[in-house]
């Protein structure tokens, strides 16, 4: 058995997805959805599952309840070849759940955090040297148990010999209590989108946001949706356009699939431009099937679809 190279730390929940609604709900009124899916959810789990589908040896660290949703999540992780040896089950907590309403290319989410709040720094395996090459952390603001220890988590990962990445995701409280000046020096790749960067830095332009965090950055991988992505590392600055998608289904998990593509290339030693391009490609592929993992069945299918949609021969070396 190969030693896992990627350790993903984060929230675990199921996604209940309602598609084909006529509009977003109004208070006091009921409406119909013509389609529903239940699938593996959470930013971290989507990133882990899609990384594994791309051939990366991947393990997950998180918390679920001893309930049906917890069973479903562990079965899905196993089916997608993600090791869950570091997933803890707690009887006193219910597994998290996100209800997603898709309307066109917009969506509204409601999340019940449940067991994801019970994850703490003590759950994370920090062997020295670590059996893992890279640590990725996602959705910090949904995980109260690790928020105050996030700097120490990255310090410990670096001390164990791992490279690191962080995708904060949106803060539902909009307080943005993240001390980037203290934490980012221990984060090798910081992976926000445009809205998150502006909210975190309390600025009104991307350039102003970048300048605020730049003194503390190692590498920035900024997700810009239809405008592609931008990378900054030292004096290097690279912009890579998005891939056009003719078969759009939904955008759930597109940013997480970008993360998977970028990090796969990053841990293989690729250039910043190649990392960004792979991120854009996997983010685009994500949108061609329902849910965050629907387009990532296995490496052969990923390669076939990428060749069909964009005429590109996939290379993950």
Tens of pLDDT, residue by residue over 152-197, are: 999 999 999 999 999 999 999 999 999 999 999 999 999 999 999 9
Q: What is the mean pLDDT of the chain?
A: 93
pLDDT band at 23 (very low <50, low <70, confident <90, very high): confident
What local confidence, expressed as pLDDT, does residue 4 receive?
67
The pLDDT value recorded for residue 317 is 63
pLDDT in the model for residue 177: 95
What was the pLDDT predicted at 105?
A: 67
Start-to-end Cα distance in the chain: 20
Residue 26: burial class (beta carbons within 10 Å; 0-12, 13-18, 19+): exposed
pLDDT for 264 equals 96
pLDDT at 267 over 80: yes
Burial of residue 110 (CB within 10 Å: 0-12, 13-18, 19+) is: exposed
Structure letter (DSSP) for residue 280: H
Sign of the C-alpha dihedral, residues 151, 154, 156, 159? negative
6-9 and 134-138 strand pairing:
parallel
Residues 284-296, mean pLDDT to the nearest whole number: 89
Closest CA to 144 of 118, 171, 109, 170: 118
CA 193-198-202 angle, to 5 degrees, is: 155
Identify the band that residue 272 occupies on the pLDDT scale cut at 50, 70 and 90. very high
The span from the CA of 130 to the CA of 147, in Å, is 22
* HSE of 114, CA atoms in CB hemisphere, 13 A: 27
DSSP string covering 173-187: TS-----HHHHGGG-
- pLDDT reported for residue 240: 97
pTM for the predicted model, two decimal places? 0.92
Alpha-carbon distance values, 171 to 43, 196, 316 (Å)? 13, 8, 33
Residue 1: pLDDT above 50? no
pLDDT tens-digit map of 90-141: 999 999 999 988 787 677 888 899 999 999 999 999 988 889 999 999 999 9
How many other β-carbons are positioned within 10 Å of the β-carbon of residue 85? Answer: 9
Q: What is the pLDDT of residue 3?
A: 58
The span from the CA of 32 to the CA of 15, in Å, is 18
Which of 21-25, 87-91, 145-149 is the least confident region?
21-25
pLDDT for position 33: 86
Q: What share of the chain is helix, strand, coil (3-state, %, to 5)?
A: 35, 25, 35
**Of 67, 63, 20, 57, nearest to 42 (Cα)?**
63
Domain ranges of the chain: 6-12+42-95+114-310
The rounded percent of the chain whose pLDDT value lies above 90 is: 78
pLDDT tens per residue, range 230-244: 999 999 999 999 999
Q: Is 25 or 296 the better-scoring residue by pLDDT?
A: 296
Which pLDDT score is estimated for 129?
86
CATH of domain 6-12+42-95+114-310: 3.40.1190.20
């Amino acid at each position: 058995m190969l030693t896992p190279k990627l350790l993903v730390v984060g929230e675990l929940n199921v996604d209940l997805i309602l598609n084909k609604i006529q509009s977003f709900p109004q208070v006091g009124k009921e409406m119909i959805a013509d389609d529903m899916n239940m699938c593996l959810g959470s930013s971290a789990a989507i990133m882990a599952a899609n990384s594994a589908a791309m051939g990366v040896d991947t393990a997950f660290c998180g918390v679920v309840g001893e309930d049906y949703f917890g069973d479903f999540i562990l079965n899905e992780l196993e089916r997608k070849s993600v090791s869950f040896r570091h997933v803890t089950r707690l009887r006193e907590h219910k597994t998290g759940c996100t209800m997603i309403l898709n309307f066109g290319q917009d969506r509204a989410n409601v999340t019940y955090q449940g067991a994801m709040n019970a994850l703490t720094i003590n759950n994370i395996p920090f062997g020295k040297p670590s059996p893992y090459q890279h640590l990725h952390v996602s959705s910090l603001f949904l995980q109260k148990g690790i928020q105050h220890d996030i700097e120490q988590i990255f310090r410990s990962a670096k001390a164990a010999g791992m490279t690191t990445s962080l995708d904060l995701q949106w803060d539902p409280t909009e307080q943005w209590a993240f001390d980037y000046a203290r934490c980012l020096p221990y984060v090798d790749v910081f992976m926000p989108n445009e809205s998150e960067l502006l909210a975190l830095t309390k600025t009104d332009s991307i350039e102003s946001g970048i300048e605020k965090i730049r003194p503390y950055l190692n590498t920035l991988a900024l997700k810009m949706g239809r405008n592609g992505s931008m990378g900054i590392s030292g004096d290097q600055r690279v912009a890579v356009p998005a891939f056009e998608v003719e078969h759009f289904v939904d955008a759930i998990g597109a940013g997480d699939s970008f993360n998977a593509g970028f990090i796969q290339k990053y841990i293989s030693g690729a250039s910043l431009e190649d990392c960004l391009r792979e991120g854009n490609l996997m983010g685009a592929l994500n949108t061609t099937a329902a849910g965050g993992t629907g387009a990532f069945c296995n490496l052969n299918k990923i390669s076939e679809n990428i060749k069909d949609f964009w005429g590109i021969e996939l290379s993950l070396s």
